[in-house]
Every structure is written in structure tokens, then in C-alpha cells.
Amino acid sequence: MIEQCRLIEFPQKGDDRGHLVVVEGRGDIPFDIKRVFYIYGSDKDVIRGRHANYHSEFVLINVAGTSMVKVDDGVNQKIYHLDRPHIGIYLPRLVWKDMYGFSGDSVLLCLASEHYDAEEYIRDYDMYLDVMRKKTTGEV
Ligand code: TYD
């Protein structure tokens, strides 16, 4: 499952006036964008996220500054460094994610496939492991 996480390079349409990066739903990313939020002003020792989603897929882009994203499917983990405004990470549903190591100028743009619903967030890691175990054994 973790192998579905991947970095995506977005088209850059910059010219001598500056940079322009395009992110189209169901084009550059594999879902229609229903929600946009962004995270900034987090200290470098803060860990955000710490959750998985039953339904939402995400693409995270550091449009300014840098941050780290650790993804975890309950078995394997992988760490990505977001450090360019035209690079995003695609996160499928049911991946546990931590965002951390924010630079002082970090603005982390998050594109989501679903509207916000607190009920579809799994915020307890033991519960997450249980959900993934049941998924693997076909209990759900
Ligand atoms: P949270 O999910 O904890 O942020 P992060 O994953 O970056 O650590 O969200 C922080 C607060 O904002 C929490 O009270 C839920 C609220 N929130 C919304 O109301 N709508 C949203 O789309 C998001 C992402 C969060």
C-alpha cells in the first residue's frame, strides 16, 4: 500500500516574469480537488498529522519552504522531503502520515479529494493498526 505514495512533478509554466505551477484535478493528480488547506507557522519540532483517513486522498506541496512527510501503512514506513514548489506527494486513503521538520518559511499546501469530515479521521495509532490488520485479513 505504501508503494502507492509517490512524488508528483507538476508542469511549470514559468517565463521571464516568474514561475507558475499547474495542478489540475484528475489531470496532474488522480482525484477531483474538493478541499484545499494549508499549514504554516509550525515550529521545526512540531509533528502534525498523526492520522489516517478512511476516504480522503491528499496531495501535499511545500509551495514555500520545506518539510518532511513520513508515511506508514502499518508495516512499512517511508520518509519524503518536500523542498520544491513544483513537487507534491500523493497520499492514498488509509495511509498514516506525520508532517514535521518545518522550515520557518514553510507553507504546506494540502489538496484533498473529500470535504472535511472529522469522522473519517483515524487519530489513534493502535486503532489504525487494528483497521489495517482487519483489512489485510479481510475482516472488513
Ligand atoms: P488537524 O487535522 O489536527 O491538522 P494537521 O493534520 O495538520 O495536524 O486539524 C487541526 C484543526 O483544524 C482541527 O480542529 C480540525 C480542523 N480542520 C477543519 O476544520 N477542516 C479541515 O479541512 C482540516 C484539515 C482541519
Q: Taking the model in full, what pTM does it have?
A: 0.96
Note the pLDDT tens digit of each residue in 17-29: 999 999 999 999 9
The finding on whether 116 has its CB within 6 A of some atom of ligand 1 is yes
CB proximity list for 67: less than 8 A, separation 6 or greater? 81, 82, 99, 100, 101, 102, 103, 106, 108
Structural domains of the chain sorted by starting position, each given as residue range(s) with its CATH number in brackets: 2-135 (2.60.120.10)
51 counts as catalytic: yes
Closest CA relative to residue 94, chosen from 9, 10, 4: 4
The finding on whether 35 has its CB within 6 A of some atom of ligand 1 is yes
Note the pLDDT tens digit of each residue in 49-104: 999 999 999 999 999 999 999 999 999 999 999 999 999 999 999 999 999 999 99
- How close is the Cα of 117 to the center of ligand 1, in Å? 10
Smallest CA separation from ligand 1 atom 15, residue: 118
Q: In ligand 1, which atom is closest to the CA atom of 48?
A: 8
- Mapped onto helix, strand or coil, the DSSP state of residue 82 is strand
